[in-house]
């Protein structure tokens, strides 16, 4: 046990920005002990009432959710998902790469979300949703039907005689979904993968969902059978990025989103509750560009308001509780060493938002850790509490026979880059766990996230849509090399070899028309046999020296997806790096300065460079980033924190790394003479 002063110095700042970065509401899990129930409670109740109406009469409804940056929009969506997941299925719909493929994008993201396993469950939303169908609750029906696919389809067609698009294929898919051997392939079909003939034959389905109309109608099918299951939340989150881009006709990037919403209403697509989440500034700037008839299709608007100081104080209390619970004696207040008067001074209007509350807490605790606060004062720690006589030792931050001096913070740029690397690592690890194959993204989605990384690396002359065909232009882009040569890039992972053939035709046209001087094809999927026209054309084109075929590794997708997710967060005002809310330009600067993309093999191959960055020992790099952002930590806490990220690395190895860093004066270990539970590690400026 220790005093609260010692604990604050040795532990990670409980307001560290890495811990309250949200992002995609579906992937980020909330800690129950940090939730302040009163915040946005009225807004939650309003959405619950809309859900009740959808359940009551199956009519799709739409609500616009707006809030300033830091108001907690994504956090609110995560709370709603947690509260209402037993009454509805949730789908995260992020921004799309191509307005010509919106419906396919929505279908893909909807099915991907339904494939997630909800907290506390052992099966995916999709299976739970299907098994709640009245007909599938009948054990006798299921047992008999699963033995005979034809009987299963026949019975479902009797239950849904009308209103189902491509009923035979759709009901066949439902049959395949509850068959463990075919479940994964059936999910691929339902999410709109352009499957090859062999896979379609295995599924017993005629063709893929490869048009906008087909995707729209499949969503309608899901809504139709939701009458007997649970409605679906379609949550359009982080779509502010759409507002900064225009389509080829110069129309606002938000207009297609609201057109889709109107179609959902006009076509009587049932059993959806749609939430469109936007930053208030984005909405105010672009709402005048949206057709009035589409605005009229909104059933409600929710504007997140600021929180009061009592709620802000509760946020502080919940964040500090874990530190307080470790102390010998309860601190004098539940928010010690913070004070209510600090909130009153910083927010004289009596209102703030959750993010600013957290940022202020971080700033004060960081200053407190470094001994920069005059009050409350950091007291000398007490050791050997079991003895009657308390033995005082020198303060860890005070050198013998010297006046108290605060530990000097490192430069802002170094700390910011270290904080960025920690955020990057967290998001990268999430993507490693989430993205199990390259086809997680559609082909246009893959080319888009690659193009975004090119922009971050300041590659010159980037142009969209190299391929001439409208159907496949979004599979490509081009850029200029330093010598002025135009390089084309085409990325197609569609399994359908007919689509591959058409893309190869487009590649030949691009070369014949001299649209580029060199051409890269990126594809990990099979190319087909020598008898296939696509393969023959591929062989003809890529026999030339100036045409190169690259096979991407999954790790490269994780790099590209990590930057993509951080870019989405920046556009929605959700990314915090240290104390900074970066814009796109600053994010791109962080990427270049930290060189996090330099180890992406695909980028190295495309841009013809070998990373000049020697890949550091990941344990050492993570350790340095943690201590750089915290600036002072307990030795044991530092070892435990690093161990939690690298569970196969023994504590002795981590301690040895810290010792080596101390020997070269990168870190300093204070109070080496006492039991190591009292040791502090600080960064050397």
Closest CA to 674 of 638, 623, 640, 636: 636
SS3 377: coil
pLDDT the model gives residue 393: 28
pLDDT the model gives residue 19: 61
CB of 490 closer than 8 Å to CB of 502:
no
Q: Could you tell me how many helices (H) and strands (E) the chain has, helices first?
A: 28, 17
Q: What is the pLDDT of residues 105-116, one digit of tens each?
A: 999 999 999 988
CA separation for the pair 135, 138 (Å, rounded): 6
Confidence of residue 27 (pLDDT cuts 50, 70, 90): low
Q: Which residues pair with 675 in a beta bridge?
A: none
pTM over 0.75: yes
Q: Which residue range(s) make up the domain with 627?
A: 618-683
> Both 361 and 502 in a single domain?
no
Residue 251 forms part of a structural domain: no
CA separation for the pair 655, 457 (Å, rounded): 36
Exposed / middle / buried, residue 344 (Cβ in 10 Å: 0-12, 13-18, 19+) = exposed
Strands 486-491 and 476-480, sheet pairing: antiparallel
> Both 425 and 567 in a single domain?
yes
- Could you tell me the maximum CA-CA distance found in the chain, to the nearest angstrom? 90
> Both 386 and 418 in a single domain?
no
> Both 560 and 432 in a single domain?
yes
> Both 646 and 675 in a single domain?
yes
Mean pLDDT of the 212-234 span: 91
CATH (domain of 628): 1.10.10.10
> Both 572 and 589 in a single domain?
yes
Mean pLDDT of the 71-100 span: 90
Closest CA to 70 of 514, 470, 605, 572: 572
Residue 91 forms part of a structural domain: no
∠ Cα 49 51 57 (to 5°): 105
User: Please, where are the H alpha helices in 115-163?
Assistant: 125-131, 139-147, 149-159
Residue 630 forms part of a structural domain: yes
φ/ψ bin of 106: left (φ > 0), alpha (ψ from -120 to 50), beta (otherwise) = alpha
HSE of 67 in the Cβ direction (CA atoms, 13 Å)? 28
Tokens 């605005």 correspond to 295
> Both 460 and 545 in a single domain?
yes
Sequence length of the chain is: 685
Distance from the Cα of residue 102 to its chain's centroid: 20
> Both 561 and 507 in a single domain?
no
Strands 476-480 and 463-464, sheet pairing: antiparallel
Sign of the four-CA dihedral 64, 69, 74, 80: negative
Mean pLDDT of the chain, nearest integer: 86
92: which 2 tokens? Answer: 């995260």
Residue 95 forms part of a structural domain: no
| pLDDT reading at 591 higher than 70 | yes
SS3 517: coil
* Domain-ending residue, one of 584, 607, 630: 607
Phi, psi angles (nearest 5°) of residue 353: -130, 165
- Between the alpha carbon of residue 309 and those of residues 36, 354, 360, 397, the distances in Å are 13, 10, 13, 33
Residue 190 forms part of a structural domain: yes
* Domain-ending residue, one of 210, 230, 250: 230
Percentage, residues of the chain above pLDDT 90: 64
Confidence of residue 561 (pLDDT cuts 50, 70, 90): very high
| pLDDT reading at 590 higher than 70 | yes
What does 212-260 look like in DSSP terms, one character per residue?
Answer: HHHHHHHHHHHHHHGGGS--EEEEE-STHHHHT-B-TT--BTTHHHHHH
> Both 446 and 432 in a single domain?
no
> Both 536 and 577 in a single domain?
no
Residue 428 forms part of a structural domain: yes
Distance from the Cα of residue 21 to its chain's centroid: 10
Residue 497 forms part of a structural domain: yes
Mean pLDDT of the 310-333 span: 92
- Between the alpha carbon of residue 459 and those of residues 67, 309, 485, 600, 606, the distances in Å are 34, 47, 13, 15, 11
Cis amide leading into 337 (omega within 30): yes
| pLDDT reading at 203 higher than 70 | yes
Q: How many structural domains comprise the chain?
A: 5
pLDDT the model gives residue 386: 35
pLDDT the model gives residue 416: 92
> Both 469 and 496 in a single domain?
yes
> Both 429 and 447 in a single domain?
no
Tokens 């009519």 correspond to 59
| pLDDT reading at 454 higher than 80 | yes
CA separation for the pair 446, 438 (Å, rounded): 9
182: which 2 tokens? Answer: 């075919």
Residue 115 forms part of a structural domain: no
CA separation for the pair 74, 100 (Å, rounded): 27
């Amino acid at each position: 046990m220790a005093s609260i002063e010692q604990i604050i110095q040795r532990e990670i700042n409980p307001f560290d920005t890495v811990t309250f970065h949200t992002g995609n509401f579906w992937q980020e899990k909330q800690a129950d002990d940090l939730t302040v129930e009163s915040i946005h409670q009225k807004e939650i109740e309003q959405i619950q009432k809309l859900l009740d109406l959808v359940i009551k009469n199956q009519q799709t409804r739409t609500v616009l959710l707006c809030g300033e940056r830091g108001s907690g929009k994504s956090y609110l969506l995560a709370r709603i998902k947690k509260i209402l997941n037993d009454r509805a299925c949730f789908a995260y719909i992020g921004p799309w790469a191509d307005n010509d493929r919106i419906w396919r994008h929505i279908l893909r993201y909807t099915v991907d979300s339904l494939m997630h396993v909800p907290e506390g469950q052992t099966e995916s939303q999709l299976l739970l949703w299907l098994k709640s169908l009245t007909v599938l609750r009948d054990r006798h029906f299921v047992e008999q039907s699963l033995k005979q696919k034809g009987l299963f389809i026949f019975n479902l067609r009797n239950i849904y005689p009308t209103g189902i698009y491509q009923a035979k294929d759709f009901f066949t898919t439902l049959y395949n979904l509850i068959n463990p051997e075919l479940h994964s392939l059936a999910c691929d079909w339902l999410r709109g993968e352009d499957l090859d003939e062999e896979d379609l034959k295995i599924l017993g389905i005629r063709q893929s969902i490869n048009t906008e109309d087909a995707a729209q109608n499949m969503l309608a099918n899901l809504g139709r059978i939701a009458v007997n299951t649970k409605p679906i939340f379609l949550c359009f989150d982080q779509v502010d990025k759409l507002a900064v881009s225009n389509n080829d006709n110069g129309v606002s990037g938000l207009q297609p989103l609201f057109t889709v919403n109107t179609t959902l209403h006009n076509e009587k697509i049932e059993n959806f509750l749609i939430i469109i989440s936007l930053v208030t500034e984005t909405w105010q700037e672009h709402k005048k560009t949206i057709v009035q008839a589409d605005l009229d299709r909104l059933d409600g608007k929710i504007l997140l308001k600021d929180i009061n100081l009592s709620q802000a104080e509760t946020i502080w209390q919940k964040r500090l509780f874990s530190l307080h619970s470790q102390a010998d004696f309860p601190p004098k207040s539940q928010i010690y060493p913070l004070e209510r008067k600090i909130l009153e001074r910083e927010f004289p209007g009596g209102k703030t938002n959750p993010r600013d509350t957290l940022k202020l807490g971080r700033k004060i605790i960081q200053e407190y850790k470094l001994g920069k606060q005059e009050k409350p004062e950091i007291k000398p720690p007490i050791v050997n509490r079991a003895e009657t006589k308390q033995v005082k030792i020198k303060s860890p931050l005070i050198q013998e026979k010297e006046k108290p001096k605060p530990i000097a913070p490192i430069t802002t740029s170094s700390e910011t880059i270290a904080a960025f690397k920690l955020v990057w690592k967290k998001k990268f690890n999430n993507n490693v766990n989430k993205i199990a194959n390259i086809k997680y993204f559609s082909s246009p989605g893959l080319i888009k996230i690659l193009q975004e990384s090119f922009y971050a690396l300041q590659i010159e002359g980037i142009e969209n849509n190299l391929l001439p065909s409208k159907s496949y232009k979004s599979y490509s882009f081009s850029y200029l090399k330093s010598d002025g040569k135009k390089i084309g890039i085409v990325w197609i992972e569609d399994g359908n070899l007919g689509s591959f053939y058409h893309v190869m035709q487009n590649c030949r046209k691009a070369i014949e028309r001299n649209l580029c001087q060199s051409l890269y094809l990126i594809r990990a999927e099979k190319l087909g046999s020598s008898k296939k026209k696509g393969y023959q054309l591929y062989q003809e084109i890529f026999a030339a020296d100036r045409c190169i075929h690259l096979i991407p590794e999954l790790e490269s997708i994780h790099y590209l997806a990590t930057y993509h997710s951080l870019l989405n967060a920046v556009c929605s005002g959700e990314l915090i790096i240290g104390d900074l809310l970066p814009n796109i330009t600053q994010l791109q600067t962080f990427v270049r300065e930290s060189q996090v993309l330099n180890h992406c093999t695909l980028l190295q191959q495309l841009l013809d460079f070998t990373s000049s960055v020697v890949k550091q020992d990941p344990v050492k790099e993570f350790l340095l980033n943690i201590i750089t952002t915290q600036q002072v930590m307990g030795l044991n806490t530092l070892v435990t924190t690093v161990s939690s990220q690298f569970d196969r690395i023994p504590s002795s190895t981590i301690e040895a790394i810290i010792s080596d860093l101390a020997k070269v004066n990168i870190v300093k270990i204070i109070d080496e003479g006492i039991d190591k539970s009292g040791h502090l590690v600080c960064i050397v400026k």
